[in-house]
């Protein structure tokens, strides 16, 4: 208190004295952009859950047991093989009809080559060739798809090796009916073809 009972004098806070010349300098403050990077990509980054409702989207309801069963069935090897079989049948049939349409020998009788075939005979030959191609394509498609699914499930990976291995197995199984040499050639040729297709699609 001051003299005469007056108001208390304010006590001035002691200001830190500047560092003496030659003494240790205080550490510089951290840069602002470094703190920003720590919050963006560094250790202080907070992961956020993907919530469509927070972004203004429509939240998806939880899946029922029936939907989960349908998804598991569609992802099974049996369903993939059946789908490839149907697709191969349709593709093979279309390819057989197309090749028969551009073949000039369709409908001709080898016993009477000078006789002009009728439209019914031409359509009959085109249908037979289409059915033959459809069956072959369906068998190959089902074998390849089922083998690839089994190999992928066994390896636990989805890469180009699955198609190469399944192509070799499918080509070898088809070629072995004509002998060991044909099986080896079929394995190598189908594996190379599968690798080329997989590389092109990826």
DSSP H helical segments within the chain, as ranges? 32-40, 65-74, 77-102, 119-155, 160-175, 180-201
Per-residue pLDDT of the chain (202 residues; tens, 9 = 90+): 445 555 555 545 445 555 555 556 666 555 565 666 666 666 666 665 555 555 555 666 777 778 878 888 888 888 989 999 999 999 999 999 888 888 777 777 777 767 777 888 888 888 899 999 999 999 999 999 999 999 988 888 888 888 899 999 999 998 888 888 989 999 999 999 888 888 777 6
- Structure-token pair, residue 190: 């189908």
Per-residue confidence (pLDDT) for residue 31, from 0 to 100: 55
Predicted TM-score of the model (pTM): 0.60
144: Cα within 13 Å, side-chain hemisphere? 23
136: nearest Cα among 164, 106, 96, 101: 96
Per-residue confidence (pLDDT) for residue 140, from 0 to 100: 92
Per-residue confidence (pLDDT) for residue 46, from 0 to 100: 67
Per-residue confidence (pLDDT) for residue 49, from 0 to 100: 57
CA separation for the pair 30, 41 (Å, rounded): 17
Per-residue confidence (pLDDT) for residue 1, from 0 to 100: 47
């Amino acid at each position: 208190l001051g003299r005469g009972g007056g108001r208390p004098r304010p006590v001035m806070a002691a200001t830190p004295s500047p560092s003496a010349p030659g003494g240790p300098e205080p550490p510089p403050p951290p840069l602002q952009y470094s703190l920003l990077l720590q919050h963006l990509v560094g250790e202080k980054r907070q992961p956020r859950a993907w919530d469509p409702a927070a972004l203004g989207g429509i939240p998806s309801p939880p899946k029922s047991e029936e939907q989960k069963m349908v998804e598991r069935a569609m992802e099974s090897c049996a369903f993939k093989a059946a789908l490839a079989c149907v697709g191969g049948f349709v593709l093979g049939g279309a390819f057989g009809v197309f090749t028969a349409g551009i073949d000039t020998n369709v409908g001709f009788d080898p016993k009477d080559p000078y006789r002009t075939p009728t439209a019914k005979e031409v359509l009959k030959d085109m249908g037979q060739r289409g059915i033959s191609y459809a069956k072959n394509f369906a068998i190959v498609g089902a074998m390849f798809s089922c083998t690839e699914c089994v190999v992928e499930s066994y390896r636990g990976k989805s890469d180009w090796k699955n198609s190469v291995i399944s192509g070799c197995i499918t080509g070898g199984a088809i070629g072995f009916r004509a002998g060991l040499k044909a099986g080896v050639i079929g394995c190598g040729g189908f594996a190379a073809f599968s690798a080329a297709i997989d590389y092109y699609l990826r």
